Amino acid sequence: MDKKRLELHRGDITGLKADAIVNAANTSLLGGGGVDGAIHRAAGPDLLAECRELNGCNTGEAKITKGYRLRARYVIHTVGPVWYGGYRNESEQLASCYSSSLRLAREYKLKSVAFPGISTGIYRFPKELAATIAVNETKRFLMKNSLPEKVIFVAFDDESYRIYSSLLKA
């Protein structure tokens, strides 16, 4: 796989120009805290209205909406697992968030998609394990698929940036 297909960005995902940004959503898809709330605020009320029509989303799955006032054309909403110590299939569920989101990006013929650190905020998933799953699952998908052409990992804080940076150099 071409390493140029993976990129790392430090900052706020809501301002990123990409075909789609991924929202670390809750099961209602109706907004929340962290990146979910930031995306809803930046996209405006039309995003919430469209999300109401989706009837929620299960953990590990993904759904897509328009991006509205975001620079991204689409938002892919995925529900990450809450961390309970690794005893409730959390790693498999997180991997499914990435594969489900990437399948949607391929289905919609999107060239670029940006991911936040899914489940690493209030859901308490360990950042290093989450980043390892994110990178491995994404590499596995990209080896078999030409779309998306580019995946951007967005690190909101210095710790996450260091973790992703070391994983992407390997």
Give the model confidence (pLDDT) of 114-159 as tens digits.
Answer: 999 999 999 999 999 999 999 999 999 999 999 999 999 999 999 9
Does residue 149 form part of some domain? yes
What is the tally of structural domains in the chain? Answer: 1
Output the DSSP codes for 16-30. --SSEEEEEE-TT-S
Does residue 52 form part of some domain? yes
Does residue 2 form part of some domain? no
0.85 surpassed by pTM: yes
Range of the domain at 39: 7-169
Let me know if 51 is exposed, middle or buried by CB neighbors in 10 A (0-12, 13-18, 19+).
buried
Residue type for 30, please? L
Does residue 22 form part of some domain? yes
| Bridge partner list, 25 | 79
Does residue 49 form part of some domain? yes
Confidence label for 2 from pLDDT (cuts 50, 70 and 90): low
Does residue 1 form part of some domain? no
Give the model confidence (pLDDT) of 78-127 as tens digits.
Answer: 999 999 999 999 999 999 999 999 999 999 999 999 999 999 999 999 99
Nearest 5°: the CA angle 161, 163, 168 is: 90
C-alpha dihedral sign at 127, 162, 133, 50: positive
Does residue 137 form part of some domain? yes
81: DSSP letter: P
Phi, psi of 72 (to 5 degrees): -85, 140
Give the model confidence (pLDDT) of 37-75 as tens digits.
Answer: 999 999 999 999 999 999 999 999 999 999 999 999 999
Does residue 153 form part of some domain? yes
Indicate which CATH number applies to the domain containing 158. Answer: 3.40.220.10
